[in-house]
């Protein structure tokens, strides 16, 4: 039986990939450096193997994936985490000696990993993007601004002071107090490089666009409205509803076509409350946190990735159902806790009691959950054990 390698940790998208591909008759190999991986607890997982921790040695992680790729039955590898997208594109030639990979070229990947280059590409494509500068280039701290990592993944290809094999995923977003100059040295130390500073965009809604592309041409796309994220200040979606907005589709497709994008892309957007424009936040060239809600709505990206890897793109059906909602339960709890723990001078803190009621009401009205499946309870129970630990 033909097989697929799914590198994953405790991410919900790993489980969705396993279930999706197993239901299509593909042998699933879950590979991880972690214990208690929910995807490995699924009855749809055929094999579980160990990997070296990518955060400790990215080159050893690469070599372990290459060893799996050399298996005669393995057809492809899914990019689930930031390290996967980098390793598969950066060392694409080595992997493609053994497997088929619908992933971007390293130059394309570098453009979306480097948020300064991404902003320049968005401007060239004529799509909205916040004013973006390096921290070192900012001298006016009066306007509302945020600080975020310049790179989707910090590696030696992007910054000079890291050794080969060293990497870091830096997700922190710092909201700055207008009129107060931050400590640039402290920020650089926290981010491990000179990060970017962006103009804060006052937004009323957040959205996600996902796509699978073949050298600039869309094979399948999807949108959802992000009702709640990991924090009230932002972050990946934990409650989402599928939608279909032509203008959102246009700005996303204009950007990905301009990049001649190949493979998976998850793009996060804010809707500017002043103009109604969909403003680019970032691109993740891999499977995304809210993948369970995407598949539930009818867009089976793990299967579509497999079809692209095996030259069967004519079998892809891009239609999906509008208005389908789904929850990441522990993410909903995290959103509620963020009201108590997080702070922002730019985003108004919501009511704790009101938010708790909204979460409970939406879970009752739309009882669809990323992990919880009665016919396959293993991943949910394992995830619960992980949280208790």
Is 288 a domain residue? Answer: yes
Examine residue 292 and state whether it is found in any structural domain, yes or no: yes
pLDDT value, residue 384: 72
| pLDDT confidence of residue 314 | 95
pLDDT at 171: 85
Clarify whether residues 144 and 246 are in a common domain: no
* Residue where a domain terminates, one of 148, 174, 199: 199
Same domain, 224 and 170: no
| Whether pLDDT at 235 is above 80 | no
Regarding whether 241 and 319 lie in a shared domain, the answer is yes
Mean pLDDT, the chain, rounded, equals: 91
Q: Does residue 190 sit in the same domain as residue 211? A: no
Quote the CA–CA distance of 44 and 41 in Å, as a whole number: 8
Domain end call among 199, 230, 259: 199
**Span 264-277, mean pLDDT?**
95
Can you tell me the distance from the alpha carbon of 244 to that of 268, in angstroms, rounded to the nearest whole number?
15
Q: Choose between 60 and 237: higher pLDDT.
A: 60
Question: Mind listing the pLDDT tens digit for each residue in 141-150?
Answer: 999 999 999 9
Burial 323-349 (b: 16+ CB within 10 A, else e): ebbbbbbbbbebbbebbeebebeebee
Residue 259 has pLDDT above 80, yes or no: yes
Q: Report the pLDDT averaged over residues 204-211.
A: 94
pLDDT confidence band for 195 (50 / 70 / 90): very high
For 37-51, 142-156, 303-317, 335-349, which range has the lowest pLDDT when averaged over its residues?
A: 335-349
Confidence of residue 356 (pLDDT cuts 50, 70, 90): confident
Q: Is the pLDDT of residue 248 over 90?
A: yes
Q: How confident is the model at residue 334, as a pLDDT?
A: 81
Between 10 and 254, residue with greater pLDDT: 254
Average pLDDT over residues 24-41: 93
Q: Check residue 332 and give its pLDDT.
A: 77
Question: What is the pTM assigned to this prediction?
Answer: 0.91
pLDDT of residue 365: 80
pLDDT at 20: 95
Which tokens in the block code for residue 131?
């004013």
pLDDT exceeds cutoff 80 at 228: yes
Rounded Cα–Cα distance for residues 267 and 288 (Å): 10
Comparing 162 with 207, the larger pLDDT belongs to 207
- Residue 326: which residues within 8 A CB-CB, separation 6 or more? 239, 240, 290, 292, 293, 296, 366, 368, 369, 370
What's the domain range around 273? 203-388
- Ranking 19-23, 58-62, 368-372 by mean pLDDT, the lowest is 368-372
Per the model's pLDDT, the better-predicted residue between 388 and 110 turns out to be: 110
State mean pLDDT over 207-231.
93
114 falls within a domain: no
Give the residue from 230, 220, 235, 245 showing the smallest Cα distance to 268: 235
Number of domains in the chain: 3
> Which of 57, 85, 101 lies at the terminal end of a domain, its last residue?
101
pLDDT of amino acid 304: 98
Based on the domain organization, do 50 and 93 belong to the same domain?
yes
Residue with the larger pLDDT of the pair 124 and 342? 124
Taking the C-alpha atoms of residue 259 and residue 332, their distance in angstroms, rounded to an integer, is: 34
CATH number of the domain at 44, please: 3.40.50.720
């Amino acid at each position: 039986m033909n097989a697929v390698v799914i590198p994953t940790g405790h991410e919900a998208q790993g489980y969705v990939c396993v279930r999706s591909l197993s239901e299509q008759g593909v042998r699933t190999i879950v590979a991880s450096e972690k214990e208690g991986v929910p995807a490995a607890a699924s009855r749809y997982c055929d094999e579980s193997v160990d990997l070296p921790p990518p955060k400790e040695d990215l080159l050893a992680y690469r070599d372990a994936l290459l060893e799996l790729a050399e298996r005669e039955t393995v057809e492809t590898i899914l990019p689930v985490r930031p390290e996967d997208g980098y390793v598969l594109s950066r060392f694409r030639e080595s992997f493609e000696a053994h497997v088929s990979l619908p992933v971007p070229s390293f130059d394309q990947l570098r453009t979306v990993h480097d948020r300064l280059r991404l902003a320049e590409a968005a401007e060239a494509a004529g799509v909205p993007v916040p004013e973006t500068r390096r921290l070192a280039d900012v001298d006016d701290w009066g306007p509302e601004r945020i600080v975020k990592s310049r790179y989707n993944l910090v590696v030696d290809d992007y910054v000079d002071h890291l050794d080969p094999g060293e990497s870091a995923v830096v997700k922190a977003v710092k909201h700055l107090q207008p009129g107060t100059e931050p400590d640039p040295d402290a920020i650089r130390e926290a981010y491990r490089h000179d990060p970017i500073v962006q103009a804060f965009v006052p937004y009323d809604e957040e959205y996600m666009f996902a796509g699978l592309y073949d050298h600039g041409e869309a094979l399948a796309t999807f949108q959802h409205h992000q009702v709640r994220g990991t924090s009230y200040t932002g972050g990946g979606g934990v409650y989402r509803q599928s939608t279909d907005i032509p203008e959102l589709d246009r700005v996303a497709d204009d950007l990905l076509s301009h990049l001649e994008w190949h493979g998976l892309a998850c793009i996060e957007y804010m809707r500017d409350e002043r103009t109604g424009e969909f403003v680019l936040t970032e691109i993740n060239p891999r499977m995304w946190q809210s993948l369970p809600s995407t598949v539930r709505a009818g867009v089976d990206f793990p299967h579509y990735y497999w079809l692209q890897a095996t030259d069967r793109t004519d079998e892809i059906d891009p239609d999906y159902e509008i208005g389908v909602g789904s929850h990441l339960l522990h993410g909903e709890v995290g959103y509620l806790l963020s009201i108590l723990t997080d702070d922002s001078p730019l985003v108004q803190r919501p009511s704790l009691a009101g938010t708790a009621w909204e979460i409970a009401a939406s879970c009752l009205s739309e009882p669809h959950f990323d992990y919880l499946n009665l016919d396959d309870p293993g991943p949910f129970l394992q995830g619960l054990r992980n949280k208790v630990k």
